[in-house]
Amino acid sequence: MGHKRVEAIRFDYLKTFLTVARTHSFSLAAKELKTSQGTVSHHIAALEQFFDAELFKRTQNGVDLTESGATLKQTAEKILQEAQEAKAKISTAKPNLSGTISIAASTVPEEHIIPSLIAEFQKRYTGVKFKIKTEDSLTSLGSLQVGNVDFAAVGTIQGFEETFDFLQVGQEELVLIVPCNHPLAKQETIKLAEITKFPFVKREETSGTQKEIEHLLENSKIPLGRLKVALELGSTESVMTAVSEGRGLSIISSIAAKKAEAAGLVKIIKIVEAAQNPRKLYVAKSKRPLLKVSEAFWAFCREYKFKNQFVACISD
């Protein structure tokens, strides 16, 4: 592959490589890593030059690993894991707890759980700072998987049960929201089957709320296809706005819904099946050793779940 000067290998190149390998897409990897597609291409090109091998092959569905790429994938995962372990060992030798903790959080945990959790933690550890980025649940878990963040705060763990360690830090309930002048607005409760008769505003596929809705429908033996989807939106806020404007009904977090109802935007109706299956909110971490500051935060999350029951009671 030529005899140009071989660029030194960097950890961020390996993170980019693993993200492309998982998403099968340079553009999706760029979006997840919050960088440009050109940067992703540069990182991959630098790795291919370093190893003098083609790492990806183009397919109809994006890109797949070559045989050389598959070999590098195993090694890259080990390199990043061992680097993290070394960093964790070094951090434990530091006397003072300080540093920055990064968290990828989906909407409900980011708006309603994480702020109070961080505030309580910082009362104890004043030298620790936090960096929060808002993503949907699956993207947050993806960011955690490639090591771009220290923790993920999410509303679903489906598909990742064995990948990460989880702590429950809150609980809520999925509820139906309808426009204030809707025929259903006078009802206090509703069954899932009745919801399928009306236009529905849904979240994107990677949303934790959407995953929990699908799980709820599956448990109730109602095919997802029975929902009359009129609109698909990317945030709880936009869903609430669409419902208030009469674009359809939707199912969202009871925590978020109560704010919209208090503002006179929508009416909340309890879903019979959802009331029997409260939705849990989690903080997740990788199974690798943590830095000392992250270890302290994880221990605090475990304690916080039991100390601050008001988090779970907001949706009552």
pLDDT number for residue 7: 61
Q: How far, in Å, CA of 245 to CA of 143, rounded?
A: 34
Asked whether residue 198 is domain-assigned, the answer is yes
Per the DSSP assignment, residues forming a β-bridge with 218 are none
Sign of the C-alpha dihedral computed for residues 79, 85, 91 and 93 taken in this order: negative
Judgement on whether residues 135 and 213 belong to the same structural domain of the protein: no
Contact 183, 260 (CB under 8 A): no
Judgement on whether residues 136 and 154 belong to the same structural domain of the protein: yes
Asked whether residue 152 is domain-assigned, the answer is yes
Contact 125, 296 (CB under 8 A): yes
Could you tell me the CATH number of the domain that includes residue 188?
A: 3.40.190.10
Could you tell me the CATH number of the domain that includes residue 58?
A: 1.10.10.10
Contact 148, 104 (CB under 8 A): yes
Asked whether residue 5 is domain-assigned, the answer is no
Q: Which tokens hold the place of 204? A: 């994107």
Judgement on whether residues 64 and 109 belong to the same structural domain of the protein: no
Contact 280, 161 (CB under 8 A): no
**What is 101-149 written as a DSSP string?**
EEEEE-HHIIIIIHHHHHHHHHHH-TTEEEEEEE--HHHHHHHHHTTSS
Asked whether residue 6 is domain-assigned, the answer is no
Q: How far, in Å, CA of 220 to CA of 194, rounded?
A: 12
Task: Give, as one character, the DSSP assignment of residue 249.
Answer: B
Domain closes at, from 90, 111, 127: 90
Domain count, the chain: 3
Asked whether residue 3 is domain-assigned, the answer is no
Judgement on whether residues 186 and 238 belong to the same structural domain of the protein: yes
Judgement on whether residues 73 and 118 belong to the same structural domain of the protein: no
Q: Which tokens hold the place of 45? A: 């090109």
Asked whether residue 118 is domain-assigned, the answer is yes
Q: Which tokens hold the place of 135? A: 């993503």
Judgement on whether residues 196 and 226 belong to the same structural domain of the protein: yes
Judgement on whether residues 179 and 167 belong to the same structural domain of the protein: no
pTM: 0.56
Judgement on whether residues 81 and 160 belong to the same structural domain of the protein: no
Judgement on whether residues 86 and 103 belong to the same structural domain of the protein: no
Q: How far, in Å, CA of 183 to CA of 163, rounded?
A: 44
Mean pLDDT by 10 residues, the chain (316 residues): 60 94 94 92 93 92 93 92 76 67 90 87 90 90 91 88 90 91 92 93 85 88 91 90 94 88 92 84 90 90 56 35
Judgement on whether residues 102 and 83 belong to the same structural domain of the protein: no
How many of the other CB atoms lie within 10 Å of CB of 243? 28
Q: How far, in Å, CA of 144 to CA of 211, rounded?
A: 18
Sign of the C-alpha dihedral computed for residues 226, 217, 188 and 281 taken in this order: negative
Q: Which tokens hold the place of 152? A: 């993920």
At 124-161, the pLDDT tens digits run 888 899 999 988 888 899 999 988 999 999 988 888 88
- Which alpha helices (H) appear in the chain, and where do they start and end? 11-23, 26-33, 37-51, 67-91, 107-108, 114-124, 137-145, 192-195, 208-219, 236-244, 254-262, 272-275, 292-307, 310-313
| Conformational region of residue 166, where left means phi above 0, alpha means psi within -120 to 50, and beta covers everything else | beta
Contact 291, 91 (CB under 8 A): yes
pLDDT number for residue 92: 55
**Host domain of residue 156:** 97-171+280-313
Strand order in the sheet with 151-154: 128-134, 99-105, 151-154, 279-285, 165-172
Asked whether residue 165 is domain-assigned, the answer is yes
Judgement on whether residues 125 and 266 belong to the same structural domain of the protein: no
Asked whether residue 181 is domain-assigned, the answer is yes
Contact 193, 227 (CB under 8 A): no
Judgement on whether residues 109 and 166 belong to the same structural domain of the protein: yes
